[in-house]
Amino acid sequence: MNNALTITEIDSQFPSEWILLDDPQTNATQHVQSGKVLWHSKDRDEVYGKAVELKPKHFAIHYAGTMPEGTAIVL
């Protein structure tokens, strides 16, 4: 995808998936507001692997849904 999407559009197009976003735009509290979708998958490790492969300079990984039970988030 070449065009930036809002986080609402991303969540509706890729429900319950992990999303690799290029050039994410954030608000004052650093919550992602929009970005260009580089990759998406239900498998978190696949998305992390794609980030390593593509090496985007400025990116974010977003989960479009309720965080699965037992998921740890490291900042």
pLDDT in tens, 9-37: 999 999 999 999 999 999 999 999 999 99
- pTM here is 0.86
Q: In angstroms, how far is the first alpha carbon of the chain from the final one?
A: 26
Window from 40-44, 50-54, 65-69 with minimum mean pLDDT: 65-69
Report yes or no: 45 and 25 within 8 Å, Cβ to Cβ.
no
**Structure confidence at residue 1 (pLDDT):** 53
Run of H or E including 51: helix 44-54
Give me the DSSP letters along 6-49.
Answer: EHHHHHHHSTT-EEEEEEEEE-TT--EEEEEEEEEES-HHHHHH
